[in-house]
Amino acid sequence: MAYTNIRFEVEDGVAVVTIDRPTALNALNSATLKELASAVDKIAKDKKIRAAVLTGGGAKAFVAGADISEMVNFNPLKATAFATLGQGVLSAIENCPKPIIAAVNGFALGGGTEIAMACDFIYAAANAKFGQPEIKLGIIPGFGGTQRLPRLVGKAMAKELVVTGDMIDANEALRIGLVNKVLPLEELLNAAKATAKKIAGYSQCAVQAALDCINKGPDVDLPDALYLERQAFAILCSTKDQKEGMKAFLAKRPPQFKDR
């Protein structure tokens, strides 16, 4: 698929996906969402890609939100289709077997906060701003904001952010647990890529199992979640990577993982 709204690059096993609509502050329209869906599918299926970073083009915005110019004349049928598309893409990001790190380099409002939350974790530039301002437009988040936000920051904080539409800065996002790290803008992308490359060097069998357990565990009760973990742990002990990792540790040498 040829991309017009995003850029897709791969270096040392790490894909960097850049949402690049400078005239719209990288806002998400249907065409951009479809391109993102294609990029995530490629990340999931390409064995040469072991981790990914998602960021925005320019220094002002990660994703300023969904594209209001497309949404302004929505009826309920079109709104349902748009929300279904957006939720599907974000679910694909969330459930991708390869880790995807959000590198938030500016405004992440509405759909911007939602797409960042769908990633495995978030690094933010010091100038980043987060918020769910949909209430100011007479609507609510439609790409999962009412569901992922309370899972990350708690129900009370999520309710406050959603029903006030207030914007918070990167340090407040760090304080409430929305982001993992705040960095100077000029260091952001390199820091996210460095973390992705570190993860890319580990056994992908183990990385995928860890992500799967963490994603699925909160949706079941603790005994069932522990069963998921126990089964994954046991299956990994049948892999050549587990044998290599432990033998390398005992021999005090770097492991050579083969993802099998």
Which of 35, 114, 160, 244 is an active site residue?
114
3-state helix, strand, coil in the chain (%, to 5): 55, 15, 30
Q: Which domains does the chain have, with CATH numbers?
A: 6-200 (3.90.226.10), 204-251 (1.10.12.10)
Which of 9, 11, 70, 134 is an active site residue?
134
- Pairing relationship of beta strands 121-125 and 61-63 according to DSSP bridges: unpaired
Structure confidence at residue 208 (pLDDT): 94
**Residue 198: band (very low, low, confident or very high) from pLDDT cuts 50, 70, 90:** very high
Structure confidence at residue 2 (pLDDT): 85
Nearest partner of 134 among 54, 79, 173, 93, judged by Cα: 79
Phi first, then psi, for residue 102 (nearest 5°) are -85, 125
pLDDT over 90 (residue 59): no
Catalytic status, residue 35: no
Catalytic status, residue 134: yes
Exposure of 76 in the CB half-sphere (CA atoms within 13 A): 0
- Of all residues in the chain, the percent with pLDDT exceeding 90 is 97
Structure confidence at residue 259 (pLDDT): 84
Rounded distance, CA 260 to CA 125, Å? 36
Q: 3-state class of 53 per DSSP?
A: strand
pLDDT over 90 (residue 260): no
- Of all residues in the chain, the percent with pLDDT exceeding 70 is 100
Which runs of consecutive H residues, i.e. helices, occur in 122-184? 145-153, 155-164, 170-175
What does the pLDDT look like over 136-146, one tens digit per residue? 999 999 999 99
For residue 28, what are the β-bridge partners?
A: 66
pTM, entire model? 0.94
Nearest partner of 173 among 232, 223, 125, judged by Cα: 125
pLDDT over 80 (residue 4): yes
